[in-house]
Amino acid sequence: MLSLIVSEGKDLTKEEKQRLRKEKKQQKKIKEKKDDKASQENEKEKKPVTSAAPASQPPTQPTPTKTKAELKAERRARQEAERASKQTKKGETGQQAATSKPKAPPSDLQPVVKRLPEHIQVDNPDVLKKLAKKLERQQIPLRSDYGYKVSLFSHLHQYSRKAPLTQQLSIPSTVIHPAIVRLGLQYSHGIVAGSNARSVALLHAFKQVIRDYTTPQNEELSRDLVNKLKPYISFLNQCRPLSASMGNAIKYIKKEISNIPSNCKEDEAKNKLLNCIESYINEKIILAGVAIAKCAIEKQKISDGDVILVYGCSSLVNHILCKAFEKNRKFRVIVVDSRPRLEGKEALRRLVQKGISCTYVLISAVSYILPEVSKVFLGAHALLANGYVMSRVGTSQIALVAKAFNVPVLVCCETYKFCDRVQTDSFVSNELDDPDDLIVTRKGTTPLEGWENESSLGLLNLVYDVTPPDFVDLVITELGMIPCTSVPVVLRVKNVDQ
C-alpha cells in the first residue's frame, strides 16, 4: 500500500512540475483563487509535518527576502491542490491513506527535492546517457570505466591511470585552458593529492584562467565567466572526482563572480576576483592551519611525554606536529601506513626531517601498537553534516580500535571542508581508484598479473571511508574545539553568514 502511494506521488510530482512551468504564466490571474482553496487543505495536511512548517506558514515578518518563501508556499499549495484533486479522481482510499500518512510521500518536501548526483549512479544507463550528452555539449571527452567492478561498488566510476583523458583531447588544447589540463593530469596521476593541496592547486589554476579571460562582446563577465568555468569543472571531475573542499571552493568562486556588479570594468573585476581567491586561500587554509596548530598546542592537546598516532599523510596534522616540536614539546609519533598508497612514508619523511622521533607500522599492526599510544590525531577529507568524518580508507578502523583501547581520537579539520552531505556508510558515495595499483611485483613474480581474465576475481581499491561520531572525541577547527555533532551548527552559522 505504502509503496503504491509513494510511486503515485513520484509520478504526480513529475507531471506537476511540467504543469507548474506552464501555469507560472497564468499565475497572477488565478493566484488569489488558488490561495484560498489551498490554505484549507494546507492546514489539514501540514500540521503533523513539523519540518515543512516554517516555510509553509504565511510570512508575517516584513523582511524583503520572504517574498521568495511566499511564492514557494503558493507553489506548494497549488501542488497540494492538484494532488488532492487527482486523488479524489482516483478513489477515496488513496486520499485517505495520503491524509493519514502525510510524511511518507516525498512530494511533501518537493521544493527541496535532491537529485542523486551522477557519480554514484554509474550503473544506471539513463544517467550515463545524460552525462554523455552534457559532456558532448561542453566538448569534454567522456572517460570510460575500466575493469571489472566489485558488485557492491558497481554504481561508482573506476578509471585506469593508463588511459588518461588527454588521449582524446587535441594537443594544443583549445577547448580547455592549458592550466586546467595540467591540473587534471596532475590529479589523475596523483601528483597533487590531499584535500588542501587539491584545493590550492585548483584555485591557482582558476587564477590563471581568470587572468587569461577576456569578456566577449555583448556578454557580462559575471555570467559568462561562470559558464566558462563549467566545462573546466566537468573536465576535472572526469579526471578525478571532486573533493568536498574543492566543491566548497568552487561554490565560493562562483558566488564571488556572480556578485560582480555589471558596471565594473574588466580589469577591476579580474583584480577583485584574484584578490578574493588569494584571501580565501589565506584565510581558510593557511591561517586556519595556524589557528588549529595554536589551539592544539596551547590547550595542551600535545603535552610532554605524549605518544601520538597519526595515519597516512595529512598536511594539517603534520603541520601541527611540526609546530608543536618547534615549541619544544617532548613527544614521539607513531606513523601508521597502508597499501597501496603508502602515504605514511611521506609523512614519516617530513616528521623525521624536522627531528621528531617516529615509529612506522602498517595498519595491520595497529592493535599491537595501541597500548603505547596516548592520543590519536587524524586528518579529514570532509566532515559531513551528521557528524561523520570522511577520510582516507583505514581511518575508521583506527578510530574503532582506538575507541576499544580508550585512547582519545582527535580529528583536525578546517571549516572549509565541512560539507552538508549526509552519509552513514562508505558504500553509497566513495571513490574507486585504479585497481592495477594493487598489483605488486616481488622477486620477479607478479601474482595478480592477469586479473582481468579471471571471471570470479575483482580488485577493489577504495579511497575513502566514513567514521561515525561515536569514535571521535574532539574536532579541532579554527573556530575552536567542537564535538563531532556540532558540525551542522557550524554549517548553519556559515550559511547564515553568507
Partner 1 sequence: MELQAVLMAAGGGSRMTDLTYNTPKAMLPVGNKPLMWYPLNLLEKVGFEEVIVITTKEVQKAMSTDLKIKDVKMKLDVVSIQEDGDMGTADALRHIQPKIKTDILVLSCDLITDVALHEVVDLFRAHNATMAMLMSKAHEFTETVPGQKGKKKTAEQRDFVGVDKSGKRLLFMANEADLEDGLSIRKSIMRKHPRMLIKTGLVDAHLYCLKKAVVDFLTENKSISSIRGELVPYLVRKQFSKTVNSQKLKDDTDDQTQEKNDGPLLISSRDEPLLQLAQERSCWNDHRGDMSEAYHGGKLRCYVHIMDQGLCCRVNTLAAYIEVNRLAPKLFEEPSVHPSADISERCQMGSDSIIGAVCHIADKTSIKRSTIGNFTTVKEKVKVTNSIIMHGVTIEEGCNIQGSVICSNAVIGRGADLKYCLVGNGQHIEPEGKREGELSYQTEQPN
Residues near partner 1 (CB under 8 A): 164, 166-167, 169-174, 178, 181-182, 185-186, 189-194, 196-198, 200-201, 203-204, 207-208, 211, 281, 286, 312-313, 315, 342-343, 345-347, 349, 352-353
Q: Which three cell numbers stand for residue 116?
A: 542523486
Name residue 475's beta-bridge partners.
411, 482
At closest approach, how far in Å is the CB of 154 from partner 1? 29
Distance CA 351, CA 356 (A): 6
Q: Considering the complex, state which of residue 102 and residue 178 has its C-beta at the smaller distance from partner 1.
A: 178
- The residues near 288 (Cβ < 8 Å, ≥ 6 apart) are 414, 415, 416, 477, 478
Q: Considering the complex, state which of residue 104 and residue 290 has its C-beta at the smaller distance from partner 1.
A: 290
Distance CA 282, CA 419 (A): 20
Cα–Cα distances (Å) from 219 to 146, 222, 224, 262, 464, in that order, read: 41, 9, 6, 10, 41
At closest approach, how far in Å is the CB of 440 from partner 1? 14
CB 449 within 8 A of CB 280: no
Q: Considering the complex, state which of residue 163 and residue 385 has its C-beta at the smaller distance from partner 1.
A: 163
Q: Considering the complex, state which of residue 59 and residue 178 has its C-beta at the smaller distance from partner 1.
A: 178
Q: Considering the complex, state which of residue 97 and residue 334 has its C-beta at the smaller distance from partner 1.
A: 334
Residue with cell 550559511: 495
Distance CA 352, CA 360 (A): 11
At closest approach, how far in Å is the CB of 273 from partner 1? 14
Q: Which three cell numbers stand for residue 455?
A: 571471471
CA R_g for the chain: 26
Q: Considering the complex, state which of residue 347 and residue 370 has its C-beta at the smaller distance from partner 1.
A: 347
At closest approach, how far in Å is the CB of 110 from partner 1? 42
Total residue count of the chain as it appears in this document: 498
At closest approach, how far in Å is the CB of 241 from partner 1? 17
Distance CA 132, CA 38 (A): 41
At closest approach, how far in Å is the CB of 183 from partner 1? 9
Distance CA 414, CA 494 (A): 13
Q: Which three cell numbers stand for residue 306?
A: 605524549
Give the closest residue to 105 by CA, choosing from 11, 184, 203.
11
Q: Considering the complex, state which of residue 194 and residue 241 has its C-beta at the smaller distance from partner 1.
A: 194
CB 140 within 8 A of CB 153: no
Q: Considering the complex, state which of residue 109 and residue 175 has its C-beta at the smaller distance from partner 1.
A: 175
At closest approach, how far in Å is the CB of 58 from partner 1? 50
**Beta pairing class for 464-467 and 389-392:** antiparallel
At closest approach, how far in Å is the CB of 276 from partner 1? 14
